[in-house]
Structure 1
């Protein structure tokens, strides 16, 4: 109770007025809203959506308008006009026409068949949007995992600081007792120097932990998009972690949930569409259209409407088309090979992460027993020293073992929480 009160006072005095304290769930929510990596992912998804909408316009008629005026130095139409006059005979008269004019027109062409390039282009664009969503889902999982890692790192360092505070109080009491013994002539000043050296070592460790805690809080604050100067993690403890068996998912089931594997599948599908588009480049294109034409080149307004059909056959593209199509088939085979490799490697990653979860949980059980043993060893050596049956070095060694066991237990708890967060990500949850 006294320890909790001291910790609360330290937290209240360390934070400025109006500072916010966030729990793990609140940190996750803040990261989902403010994390800059996630924002980039949303921008990429929005760009993919605009690409899909752009591809949809390929079904619409292609409308174009042209217009212009011209002023020639001489008439564009030059000719000699022969005329026969009875008294004068035949004579050639020069004729010059179309020296200036205005032309303009508008046409609309509706594609009827374009080698399926428009159809496959739209399918590819929709696939790009699906890929953007999967990429965003993958980024969300990574951001959540990193948020948990930063959060539990802060909790771990804060727990280490609490352990240091407890050790400092113990050393102060030991120092007081040894100082009295030195004054009474029961021990030499060497024992007092040993205690003071240990106190200096603990002070050095405190400085390292405090600096590490500050940096970890800054990283977490930047990650979730808050001001680190007015932010702190709410009081949290590792507590009694749940056994990992409750979180296990079969590998095959987890693979189907992984965004990375689904992205590999989408890549295979995309290569199929690209192959079809490559084939479509060698097919004829057919379109129908209508237009309106206006011109005035002889000081007379002329306008007319027209309808037309056009067929385009890319004959020269056939020369290199066979090689381009073979290359597209190779890319498709490569994508399928990458998909199989991704499935195998993701399965290895899931199994390895599960082993890390089990190992870190086992470390918690081992270090908890070590803390119990170290605490009992410290209690006995303190009693022995007070009774005069054990030297000071044994007491200081017992205190060192206790501090190390407490820190090992804290590290094991943080490692378990972090590995569990990673396992949740690699199993698609």
Structure 2
């Protein structure tokens, strides 16, 4: 009986342990990373909130067309009557008699008014146009942020692929060094070489181990950065296996500079800034114009124990006379700000043109570097093979063999860097051309 209970308890414990499974790993490809970044990136989320704020501002500005309704009311209780007076009465046989009079000791009042603005110096119209412009700016800012997030996603992704390629190179180098060490150990036992050669191989192996540790730590950090960027849990996040493949010719991606400028969110934002300053100038001018409105109201009061209510209609005109004194200077300042915005627009167009052309040059340079790096890998591979054969035949020194191995590792790393630079520069060029 006791044995059966122990078996049952053991089975229950095993079932409980099997039920506790670690969180499923999240392995994403490049396209999946892009999609996750669009959905979960915190910078993009903040940009969407800013757009929603601009939308609410536009809706708030539209309410300025509606009548302005106010209501007020109150009651009071005074210690003495608010109206104090003495009346002289002439009575027969008494002559003139003075009688004090005290009125309005308590009361209640209330009113409701509605004023419809007919003309407000175009401040309402221009304010609504400015609010709509703010919403357009918010959309352009969101589009700009989306391009930046996509570019950063690609940069992190290809950086991870690059580090993995570097680790693969270190694996290949480690295998080669293991074979070289085996040959050196045989030569040491045979008395052909001294143990100094073996120490040199060990030093090279330790250097490779140190480089591996640095690469693995860098891979972990970049993976964490990409996980945070796409809104994933870095503890279970990983990038799907990917290769650079055969880099395609970048010529089909080229866009003329003038065409690309018209698609850049940054340039469109500069244009919107000029337009906004124009509305600001009109708003400044409107502050010095009269405002006209019509209204209606309802008034109720009870001051002498009698309810009195009445309706009324009215018109009002307000002229800001004192604002005219400094108005000319404020209007001139607004026009100068408008000119400054136009100057910034022209400067933005010129600098963006330089950025687009520079990004295209970087793409072409990175593509050309791949061909050069590929030839270097072929040459270093053949050089390593020949030195390995020469060393086995005893016609080459260990120093020459280790130098050939170093050149081979360096050429492969340069090939990896060139491929990564091409992918990231192409992503940057797509962003700066507004795609």
Q: Same fold (TM over 0.5)?
A: yes
Deviation at 1:115, TM superposition (A): 0.6
Match for 2:266 among 221, 238, 260? 260
Deviation at 1:91, TM superposition (A): 1.7
Match of 1:344 in 2: 350
Match of 1:316 in 2: 322
Match of 2:257 in 1: 251
Match of 1:10 in 2: none
Q: CA RMSD in A?
A: 0.9
Q: CA separation in 2, counterparts of 1:228 and 1:236? A: 19
Q: Does 1:300 align with 2:312?
A: no
Match of 2:361 in 1: 355
Match of 2:382 in 1: 376
Match of 1:184 in 2: 190
Aligned length: 414
Q: 5 Å matches for 1:109-128?
A: 109-128=115-134
Q: 5 Å matches for 1:3-402?
A: 18-402=24-408
State the secondary structure of the residue aligned to 1:299: coil
Deviation at 1:385, TM superposition (A): 1.2
Deviation at 1:17, TM superposition (A): 6.3
Deviation at 1:380, TM superposition (A): 1.0
State the secondary structure of the residue aligned to 1:300: coil
The superposition leaves residues 201-256 of structure 1 with CA deviations (integer Å, 9 ceiling, x where unpaired) of 10111011111111111111111111111011100001111111111100000000
The superposition leaves residues 313-356 of structure 1 with CA deviations (integer Å, 9 ceiling, x where unpaired) of 11111111111100010010000000000000000111111111
Deviation at 1:82, TM superposition (A): 2.1
Match of 1:11 in 2: none
Deviation at 1:156, TM superposition (A): 0.2
Q: CA separation in 2, counterparts of 1:307 and 1:351? A: 66
Deviation at 1:186, TM superposition (A): 1.8
Q: CA separation in 2, counterparts of 1:125 and 1:22? A: 40
Which structure 2 segments of 5+ residues have no match? 1-21
Deviation at 1:39, TM superposition (A): 0.8
Deviation at 1:375, TM superposition (A): 0.5
Q: CA separation in 2, counterparts of 1:406 and 1:318? A: 74
Structure 1 runs (4+) greater than 4 angstroms displaced:
none
Match of 1:414 in 2: 420
Q: CA separation in 1, counterparts of 2:366 and 2:290? A: 64
Q: CA separation in 1, counterparts of 2:336 and 2:85? A: 63
Which structure 1 segments of 5+ residues have no match? 1-15
Q: CA separation in 2, counterparts of 1:326 and 1:35? A: 43
Q: CA separation in 1, counterparts of 2:88 and 2:250? A: 107
**TM-score, scaled to structure 2:** 0.94
